[in-house]
Amino acid sequence: MLNKKIEHTVKLEEYAKNWQVLIDTLPYSVIIIDTDFNVVMFNNAARNLLGNTVRLQNAKCYHLFHNINSPIKNCPMTATLKNCRNEQREIYEPHLGKYLIMNTAPVFKDNNLIGTIHSVLDITDQKENEKNSNELIDIYAGSINELKARETGAQKGRDAFLNMLEDISESYKELEELFLKLILVMVNALDAKSPWTKGHSERVSTYAEQIAKEMLIDEDEIKDIKLAGLLHDIGKIGTYDYLLDKPGTLTKEEFDIVKKHPEQGADILKEIKQLRDIIPFIKYHHEKLDGNGYPQKLKGQRIPLGARILHVADSFDSMTSDRPYRPAPGIKYALSEFDKYKGTQFDSRVVDAFLKSLEKSDTWDINLSSE
């Protein structure tokens, strides 16, 4: 039994060793733990949460988080090891002086459970503010419901994403579950910054995939475009929350800050070799055909096709979703904008492909031909 536990620990370390760069980009604490509760890998946010002087490597997670010397029943790690499924708990840790939401997800290799991924959200500030404001209690309750809803959506997205990876080599398949979970952690971390962005990345990914299929693009590139749709706004992790939630028009200086998010996204992902092909799509998804976009004012065919597709998908979702500074203009308005700016802001072929995909879909209760 001891040799089996050691074997699982070695497997987990080997399985996760390529992902240090990725988890270090996340603003939330991420810790990878083996089945004996030993910490195998952690990111900078986790070290900041638990204290820079604490030794994390090979430490017992229940000692770090709960300040005890053995596992406890209400720990999400214990539940995940028992049930082999995602668990989420809100806990208060007196020795840390923090309220935390802890998510755990199982990690398998060759159908064997070899460890878990912890993602930890510090909600201490929200809890403290609850004591003084009934309004903040409602906001907090809403945020918890959103986190639970995103957890459900992430589980559904997992199956779709695994299907998308069917043709990838066998060695890469061994990492696909860990890869997907870390991608979803990043997307969920972004969506958590503002209630207005809930579901935005997944919808843009879906629209972009539909466009690419309608344009008969190579299947591998369709996969890249879909993944780029999930991650296209990841650079907003570095954008101040108040700018994303501001109810009024942004000043020029504020908008200049927001406009940095495509390049910030490219910088976050540039060290991850599995994502290098999609970085140009993310970096240039706000460029316009006439050269009046950002960040580099590219024109026409100099803009990668994947970026032109994301630009249409992103614009459509923005025009059909509420924002803190205005209600959704709606589908009819979005279609009129595409017609008005087709060939200047938007690629005509991409717009036409999107309209065809909408006509084929039963999602929209609208006669597009009459618009």
**For residues 142 and 183, which has the higher predicted lDDT (pLDDT)?**
183
Q: Do domains 1-170 and 193-371 have the same CATH topology?
A: no
Structure confidence at residue 161 (pLDDT): 44
Mean pLDDT calculated for residue range 233-242: 72
Structure confidence at residue 136 (pLDDT): 43
Structure confidence at residue 195 (pLDDT): 62
Q: Which residues are catalytic?
A: 236
**pLDDT-derived band at 238, boundaries 50, 70, 90:** low
Domain 1-170 has CATH 3.30.450.20: yes
Q: Which two tokens stand for residue 6?
A: 């050691």
Is a pLDDT exceeding 90 seen at residue 189? no
Mean pLDDT calculated for residue range 157-167: 48
* DSSP string computed for 157-215: HHHHHHHHTTTS-HHHHTTHHHHHHHHHHHHHHHHTT-GGGTTHHHHHHHHHHHHHHHT
**For residues 155 and 224, which has the higher predicted lDDT (pLDDT)?**
224
Structure confidence at residue 177 (pLDDT): 60
Indicate the domain borders of the chain: 1-170, 193-371
Q: Which two tokens stand for residue 159?
A: 């199956």
Helix axes 305-319, 200-214, angle to 10 degrees: 130
Alpha-carbon gap, residue 157 to 284, rounded angstroms: 25
Mean pLDDT calculated for residue range 127-155: 56
Quote the CATH superfamily of domain 193-371: Hypothetical protein af1432 (1.10.3210.10)
Structure confidence at residue 35 (pLDDT): 86
- Sorted by sequence, the CB contacts under 8 Å of residue 128 that are 6+ apart come out as none
Structure confidence at residue 179 (pLDDT): 66
Mean pLDDT calculated for residue range 339-345: 95
Is a pLDDT exceeding 80 seen at residue 126? no
Q: Which two tokens stand for residue 287?
A: 């460029």
Structure confidence at residue 369 (pLDDT): 42
Structure confidence at residue 342 (pLDDT): 95
**pLDDT-derived band at 328, boundaries 50, 70, 90:** confident
319-350 in b/e form (b: 16+ CB < 10 A) is: bbbebeeeeebebeebbebbeeebeebbbebb
Tens digit of each residue's pLDDT (9 = 90 or more) over 61-118: 888 888 888 887 778 888 888 888 888 888 888 888 888 888 888 888 778 888 888 8
Tens digit of each residue's pLDDT (9 = 90 or more) over 282-299: 999 999 999 999 999 999
Query: In whole numbers, what is the pLDDT of the chain averaged over residues?
Result: 78
Structure confidence at residue 280 (pLDDT): 96
**For residues 94 and 145, which has the higher predicted lDDT (pLDDT)?**
94
3-state SS, 49-113, equals HHCCCCCCCCCEHHHHHHCCCCCCCCCHHHHHHHHCCCEEEEEEECCCCEEEEEEEEEEEECCEE
Structure confidence at residue 188 (pLDDT): 67
Q: Smallest Cα–Cα separation from 286: which of 350, 233, 341? A: 233
**pLDDT-derived band at 350, boundaries 50, 70, 90:** very high
Mean pLDDT calculated for residue range 187-215: 81
Is a pLDDT exceeding 70 seen at residue 54? yes
Mean pLDDT calculated for residue range 151-171: 50
Alpha-carbon gap, residue 189 to 295, rounded angstroms: 24
Structure confidence at residue 147 (pLDDT): 55
Is a pLDDT exceeding 60 seen at residue 367? no
Is a pLDDT exceeding 60 seen at residue 25? yes
